[in-house]
Amino acid sequence: MTRFEKTVLQIVPRLDAGGAERTTLEIADAVVRNGGRALVFTDGGRLEEDIRNVGGEIIHGRAGSKNPLTMWINAGLLSEIITREKVDIIHARSRAPAWSAFWAARRTKVAFVTTYHGAYKAAGAAKRFYNSSMLRGERVIANSRFTADRIAGLRGADTDRIVVIPRGVDIDLFDPKKVSADRVARLTRAWGLGENQGFKLLLPARLTPWKGHETAIAAVAALAGRRDKLEATGQNPALTLVFCGGAQGKDAYERRLRTVVEESGVSSMIHLVGDCADMPAAYAWADAVLSPSIEPEAFGRVAVEAGAMGKPVVAADHGGARETVINRETGFLTAPGDAKELARAIETLVLMSDTGRQVMGEKARERVSSLFSSAAMCDATLGAYRSLLTERA
């Protein structure tokens, strides 16, 4: 690809877990590898060192503040950074910092790009105005066709500015051939799992109500009452479900989940293990992966990461999952919030032969590699940058 010797300033509130944060890192890496400079204005977070390791530069500030005064002050700071560092493109990935970036871009006349990492709720005129910062980019990147359709329906949206660039996954990092058995064993020891794990399910998501943890608990409870059917087919009736993800301050919800697990009688089957630093090993451990969100995922990173690792996915049938999962070919799509349907899909996977699951997983990896790689996402994003700069010239 043609080199990209430009300076890009990305703005993201935090650099912790999440699609926006990982994409910030990947785009910073791509900009540097193509001859440019990658600056990131942020509150900070655990991905800071990763940004620096790929050659990016961190500029600390109150990027996540929703205080109007702070947002206005940030606009001044960003204007100074743009002028001092000769920034060519400012790219905002969240609503509050998008306002600061928009004001700074108008002052300095640099190119302004936004990315929708989610479909924002808008109850009332004030919230719609607040959200509209994301519509003000000269390029508005949507992370899925689902997100693009939602954006196009908003008041004030200019569909000519919208570019669909699906979220990508690093298919070299998420490669089943590169995850050793020892690595998986170390992880499961850290999780404190017992020996007889049976069929292994992973639900990787932060602990928040809309991610569908309670639907998964109800599905496992339903399966626990059907052990006789498994035993009759010669299957190991044991089943282990790991909730992999932190509470991120929602400790009350974590306590609620633990109570629901206990009251459902499945405490020996479901384990809450917190955040995981080695997600490829977590996927490698699982026989199948769950993404039962009760609200639509704008894209759904779990489905593509699991697919890259050659694992079938059971996802809720809405949002971005309809683009990343082919029902009964690379996984299963089930009605959102329907624990019985989720249980049936899990049972189908349990009763499927190892070869059948392997074929499904191979199809998933092939699809992810061709459509949803981080390399393709980075190339498309740099292409959007180039076209915008050419258009402005």
Taking only the tens place, the pLDDT of each residue in 106-156 is: 999 999 999 998 777 777 888 888 888 999 999 999 999 999 998 988 877
Q: What span, in angstroms and rounded, lies between the C-alpha atoms of 247 and 267?
A: 18
Q: Which residues of the chain have pLDDT under 50?
A: none
pLDDT of residue 247: 84
194-to-95, 124, 189, 190, 226 alpha-carbon distances in Å: 44, 50, 9, 11, 21
Domains and their CATH numbers in the chain: 7-168+373-392 (3.40.50.2000), 176-371 (3.40.50.2000)
Do 306 and 349 contact (CB within 8 A), yes or no? no
- For 196-231, how does the pLDDT look when each residue is reduced to its tens digit (9 = 90+)? 899 999 999 999 999 999 999 999 999 987 766 656
Rg (CA), the chain: 22
Neighbours of 33 (CB within 10 A): 16
Q: Where are the alpha helices (DSSP H) in 276-338?
A: 279-285, 301-308, 321-324
Nearest partner of 313 among 271, 355, 342, 353, judged by Cα: 342
102-to-116, 126, 148 alpha-carbon distances in Å: 15, 18, 20
Helix 68-85 / helix 95-108 crossing angle, nearest 10 deg? 50
- Beta strands across the sheet bearing 57-60: 57-60, 37-42, 7-11, 89-92, 111-116, 139-142, 162-164
Grouping H, G, I as helix, E, B as strand and the rest as coil, residue 152 is helix
Nearest partner of 71 among 155, 115, 11, judged by Cα: 11
Secondary structure percentages of the chain, helix, strand, coil, to 5? 50, 15, 35
Nearest partner of 21 among 115, 161, 103, 113, judged by Cα: 115
173-to-258, 278, 379 alpha-carbon distances in Å: 32, 10, 18
Q: Euclidean distance between the first and final Cα of the chain, in Å?
A: 21
Find all residues with CB under 8 Å of 261, minimum gap 6, and list them.
217, 267, 270, 272
311 phi/psi in degrees, rounded to 5: -115, 135
pLDDT of residue 228: 61
pLDDT of residue 237: 66
pLDDT of residue 22: 87
Nearest partner of 24 among 63, 44, 51, judged by Cα: 51
Nearest partner of 266 among 306, 227, 292, judged by Cα: 227
Residue type, 97: P
pLDDT of residue 232: 57
**E strands, 226-323, where?**
239-244, 270-274, 288-291, 313-316
Do 113 and 141 contact (CB within 8 A), yes or no? yes
| 199 beta partners | 239
Nearest partner of 26 among 2, 7, 10, judged by Cα: 10
Do 238 and 199 contact (CB within 8 A), yes or no? yes
| 297 beta partners | none
